[in-house]
A and B are shown apart, each in its own frame.
Chain A
Amino acid sequence: MKIPFSWLKEHCPIEKTPQEVADDLVRLGHEVEGIETPRAGVKGVRVGHIVEMKPHPDADKLKLLKIDLGDVEHLSIVCGASNMKAGDKVPVATVGTSLPNGLKIKKGKIRGEVSFGMCCSEAELGLAEDADGLLILPKDAPVGEEVGEYLELEEAVLDLDITPNRGDCMSLRGIARDLAADYALPLIEPGDEVVATDDSVAAPTVAIAASEDCPLYTACKIEGVKVSASPEWLQARLIAAGLRPINGVVDVINYTMLDLGQPMHAFDADTLDGNITVRTAKAGETFTSLEGKNVSLHDEDLVIADDKHVIALAGIMGSEPTGVTDKTSNIILESAAFRPARISITRRTCGLVSDSSMRFERGVDPAMIAVAMDQVAQMIVSLFGGQVSAITVVGDTDSLIKDTQIQVNMQRIESRLGIEVPKTADAVLERMGFGIEHDGDTLNFSVPSHRPDVRLAEDISEEYARVIGFDNIPAMMPTLTTIQPSKVDTGITDAVRLGFVQVINYAFISKAEQRLFVAEDDKDLVLPNPISEAMSVMRRSMFPSLLNTAKYNMNRQQTGVALVEQGRIYTGPLDEHTETNMLAWLITGDVQPDTWYAKSRKADFFDLKGAIESWLQGRGLTARFMADDGVLGLQAGQTAKIFIGKSVAGYIGKVDGDLADGFDLSDDVFVASINLDVLHTGKKAKFQPIPEFPSIERDLVFLFDKGVTSDAILQTVRKACGQQFVDASIFDLYDGQGVPEGKVSLGIRFVLQDAKRTLTQEDSDKVMQAVIDAVATKFKAELRG
């Protein structure tokens, strides 16, 4: 809502500056988006008096003007307009002026005649969209004065963001009412003159067939109107308030809507067929809006209709064929009340928004229906002529505009605010139109018709908070609520400590990317109205977004990335969908840069596996990795399922080479995902005494067949070691020269210990022999040299 400052002052004699008023509006709950001076750009345009006008000797359509600007010498100007005459006063842009349309005025020569400026039209001053001829100023305009000052063009316009509950503030009068109450100034009432009616003009006949949605409808007819453009002061105000002038009648209606808050509508009476009915739409009915849009109506939509057609979507927009144009001579004016929720639903289902619907949705003061009708009818008659019929009123005005009584406990309001309400607040609320009566702890509160948003004790507490000022409410700490301490999840922090950079990706990806890792089925959750195809389906795999992030970074001077993301994956069907918390990892390219102590190295499977093992260890968990050749998108032979106990906690593997190529990733890419929801917390560490007796280390090197897994070997040797086993690990792996084809040499280091004594060489020999026997039996593996 744009509030031209001079207009505001017509409703309330404010003496503060626009900035001060803006600050006060913020305190009262109206957000000020800015203070604009939209037409400040006409500095240097002055009131000029045409003292002489002669034809241009060399051009038929040009005139040579001598202009008096009140300076010593008269100015010579060549002018192409034809609507002026000697003696007129016109706006003159002097040399050096920049006009709102960007034109910079310079001294020039037109067909041999020198011109020291330009006479301006309304369009050139930014006052109208277009104009024929110069703007002729009133005779008493002071010569030489800045036109901007004379026409009050440089006034401030406050741009307010009115909250949805304050329909009453979608008007100059509404904003002025809040300010007048705050400043203890009078709110200037609109004129109570009733328009002169003429019985020779038949009043429109109106029937309401949907009285719940339309409790009051008033209409009158004006005959013999000569519709022309509205006067420039009115156009200028509309433009300042952000509306486009259309024609005289429409402009007067819009002006009154901004002024008083009541949206009205005018029909061209000669286009109507029969009487007016307010009813719900019939199935299959259509409607062509003023904007030329064809709309199919729903059977709940509230419409205004004549005997044959829908002529308006109630409270939203009129129909194109029945609109008022320059050729209209007989009009019907509508001023009515419509139920906000109805307007809101129809506005949405039909996809039409208007200044009218924005007001009706938020609530319009029914007390203005008659006042606005009078103001519009009077303005039309005085500007464009015509005779006005009697006003048809269907519905009960009195019941609509009567105050609502609320009784509440004052203590409840004070306990909600945390402050004792000062007496001064009552006076402010009374000036806003509320009625206040204290009876002990009981507050009898009456709410005027322009505040339908105030219905509950809590609403009243807000009104008090507003006028007391939030600044005057103290800050206090509430008592602590005793609660179960929540354990902070350190999963992502632990991953980051392992050298991974955390990324956060959108939860939606493209359908094609979804298919890279999840086979087609009916469990995708698809957004019907996505931002783009690339964000059209809820991800069921974390990998596509990670690959995109890797691609983004590898294209930007990175030689390797290690990424981790914590987020959810989403699986249908919609009515019983699941959201699973995941931790997903990606590593590709150099695992470290070249340094003075080491050469760079490309990431492989075991870099990522090691990170995951460390991460799990940090949570007291150990995983088993089982080769799995059947994971979509991951390369057979370098992919494993991650088991924790008996449940599958995730996958790790190398991204299929062609798939990685598709993301411009030339190095091997390894990814892993862990389902955080299946991870139980590991066992709490339990105390064990430090062993009293020393451990011994023994190494054995075997030749195994290729394909035997270290997991299987270590399980076997562990069993063979018996009670004295502490640890066994692969310390050497070799299949080069000297190792027969199809074999691999594995070095295993054992740590043995006994709880009750120091182990002897003999003891460990016995254990090693058991290991050798077990390995020979199980794997046909031999000790190596």
Chain B
Amino acid sequence: MSEIDSLKAQLQDLQDKALALFADAADLKALQALRVAYLGKKGELTSVLKGVGKLPPQDRPVIGQFVNATKSVLAEALDKAESLLASKEKEARIDAERIDVTLSGRTSETGALHPVQQGLHEMTAIFAQMGFAMAEGPEIEDEFHNFDALNIPAEHPARANHDTFFFDIEGTADTKLLRTHTSPVQIRAMQACVDAGGEPPLAVVAAGRVYRCDYDVTHSPMFHQVEVFKVDKDVSLAHLKGVLQHFLSAYFEKDVPIRLRPHYFPFTEPSAEVDIGCVFCNHKGCRICKGSGWIEVLGSGMIHPNVLKAVGIDSSIYSGFAFGLGVERLVMLKHGIPDLRLFFENDVRFLRRMGA
């Protein structure tokens, strides 16, 4: 066998052995060691190349070509084995990192807004969008603002319906009481406007706690009202109807039919009680609306001239509408809450369920 043939055989042998080893390599680290062992500066192929120097010069290119071919075969095989192993190792890692994605997430305890508060926010937001400004007043009021200025003088039979918490003996304008409705804010807002030398237009929404000395299944001694009024030139009953229709549909998030029934309130003339088509049976008649298809939601009317007179607004120039609604009642209707007392028991299970 010639020198060159022996070298060739040696290279072939080396290549076969190497390829077998590459295929068997357990991991990337082993493969890296094999790369060094075969293709490194002190690797086997290099030592074979060293033997080329002993060959006659005309044979050297031949064997050089052969060595280079072997080298590229090995390099290619190494790359291939490497990427195979890399993807295998990634797969293994992914397998190892597999988690139960159905386990609960890390949450922080969430709170809950009281349903009455949600109602207050929703309602006042609707009126704010319609251009009504927010106002507030004291909860401990006097007879003047709670009754007299609202055209409910001391001997008025309507006073009996108010079940008032008095702090003192009833009968003088500055006798203190817990306000029985949010209507005194109407008086205060109009007074503030007139005192500041201003004049209508005035459009106000006022919300807050009110108090009645009445405590049973359907009455709470404290509840919330929202009061809305507008005073301007040429304000009419038709405007009241328009605002009510918009508000009630916006609050209940659907087109609810409304019905105004003539009624009596001392502070409005004409006065109307407002019904909505029953939200439980879609106006068809059910147990809750007593078969009528209507549910009473609020009282309204055109502000009585005596009320405007009490605050110094000329009722021959200005007119206005006003209405007041019970927040708990509307929230109960919207969310199907059956019992008023739930609002003030403050059971967190109820509050969390209703809480947004």
- Which A residues are within 8 Å of any B CB, using their own CB? 26-29, 31, 34, 163-166, 340-342, 344-345, 348, 361-362, 412, 415-419, 456, 458-459, 461-462, 465-466, 470-471, 473-486, 488, 492-493, 495-508, 525-531, 535, 538, 549, 552-553, 556, 558, 561-564, 566-568, 570, 574-575, 577, 579, 591-592, 595-597
Chain A neighbourhood of B244, CB < 8 A: 475
Q: Is B237 an interface residue (CB 8 A)?
A: yes
Binds A, one of B6-14, B29-37, B163-171: B163-171
Interface of B (DSSP majority class): mixed
Number of interface residues of B (CB under 8 A): 89
Q: Please report the C-alpha to C-alpha distance between residue A501 and residue B351 in the assembled complex, in whole angstroms.
A: 7
Given known A-B contacts A505-B344, A531-B221, A591 and B109 have beta carbons under 8 A apart: yes
Chain A neighbourhood of B113, CB < 8 A: 492-493, 496, 502
List residues 336-356 of chain B with CB under 8 A from any CB of chain A. Answer: 343-349, 351-352, 355
Q: Please report the C-alpha to C-alpha distance between residue A655 and residue B267 in the assembled complex, in whole angstroms.
A: 47
Given known A-B contacts A164-B158, A462-B270, A574-B168, A478 and B232 have beta carbons under 8 A apart: yes
Between-chain CB contacts (< 8 Å), 6 pairs: A31-B273, A478-B232, A483-B132, A507-B139, A530-B165, A579-B138
Given known A-B contacts A31-B263, A417-B237, A499-B111, A504 and B116 have beta carbons under 8 A apart: yes
Additional A-B contacts beyond A345-B155, A574-B176 (17; CB < 8 A): A27-B262, A163-B264, A164-B156, A418-B236, A419-B236, A478-B235, A480-B130, A483-B131, A499-B110, A501-B111, A505-B346, A508-B222, A528-B167, A531-B215, A561-B348, A574-B140, A575-B176
Chain B neighbourhood of A361, CB < 8 A: 157
Chain B neighbourhood of A29, CB < 8 A: 261-264
Q: Please report the C-alpha to C-alpha distance between residue A506 and residue B210 in the assembled complex, in whole angstroms.
A: 10
Chain B neighbourhood of A495, CB < 8 A: 111
Task: Identify the interface centre among B174, B221, B271: most chain A CB within 10 Å of its CB.
Answer: B221
User: Are B269 and A504 in contact, CB atoms less than 8 angstroms apart?
Assistant: no
Q: Is B106 an interface residue (CB 8 A)?
A: yes
Q: Is B45 an interface residue (CB 8 A)?
A: no
Closest CB in chain A relative to B177 CB, distance in Å: 10
Closest CB in chain A relative to B219 CB, distance in Å: 10
Q: In chain B, what residue has the closest Cβ to A341? A: B155
Q: Please report the C-alpha to C-alpha distance between residue A412 and residue B174 in the assembled complex, in whole angstroms.
A: 35
User: Are B262 and A462 in contact, CB atoms less than 8 angstroms apart?
Assistant: yes
Closest CB in chain B relative to A157 CB, distance in Å: 16
Q: Please report the C-alpha to C-alpha distance between residue A564 and residue B117 in the assembled complex, in whole angstroms.
A: 12
Chain A neighbourhood of B213, CB < 8 A: 529, 531
User: Are A579 and B140 in contact, CB atoms less than 8 angstroms apart?
Assistant: yes
Q: In chain A, what residue has the closest Cβ to B259? A: A471
Given known A-B contacts A466-B270, A496-B112, A556-B347, A458 and B239 have beta carbons under 8 A apart: no
Q: Please report the C-alpha to C-alpha distance between residue A496 and residue B117 in the assembled complex, in whole angstroms.
A: 11
Q: Please report the C-alpha to C-alpha distance between residue A563 and residue B270 in the assembled complex, in whole angstroms.
A: 45
Closest CB in chain A relative to B267 CB, distance in Å: 11
**Contact indicator per residue, chain B 295-310, by CB within 8 Å of chain A (1) or not (0):** 0000000101100000
User: Are A462 and B168 in contact, CB atoms less than 8 angstroms apart?
Assistant: no
User: Are A481 and B155 in contact, CB atoms less than 8 angstroms apart?
Assistant: no
Closest CB in chain A relative to B35 CB, distance in Å: 40
Task: Identify the interface centre among B117, B269, B270: most chain A CB within 10 Å of its CB.
Answer: B270
Q: Please report the C-alpha to C-alpha distance between residue A29 and residue B269 in the assembled complex, in whole angstroms.
A: 13
Chain A neighbourhood of B165, CB < 8 A: 527, 529-530
Given known A-B contacts A476-B238, A477-B246, A483-B133, A362 and B346 have beta carbons under 8 A apart: no
Given known A-B contacts A461-B270, A478-B243, A486-B128, A504 and B346 have beta carbons under 8 A apart: yes
Chain A neighbourhood of B167, CB < 8 A: 525-528, 574
Q: In chain B, what residue has the closest Cβ to A487? A: B134
**Contact indicator per residue, chain B 219-240, by CB within 8 Å of chain A (1) or not (0):** 0011000000010101111110
Q: In chain A, what residue has the closest Cβ to B236? A: A418
Q: Please report the C-alpha to C-alpha distance between residue A31 and residue B153 in the assembled complex, in whole angstroms.
A: 24
Given known A-B contacts A415-B234, A478-B235, A481-B230, A362 and B157 have beta carbons under 8 A apart: yes
Binds A, one of B65-73, B75-83, B201-209: B201-209
User: Are B262 and A28 in contact, CB atoms less than 8 angstroms apart?
Assistant: yes
Closest CB in chain A relative to B161 CB, distance in Å: 8
Given known A-B contacts A362-B157, A476-B242, A562-B109, A416 and B262 have beta carbons under 8 A apart: no
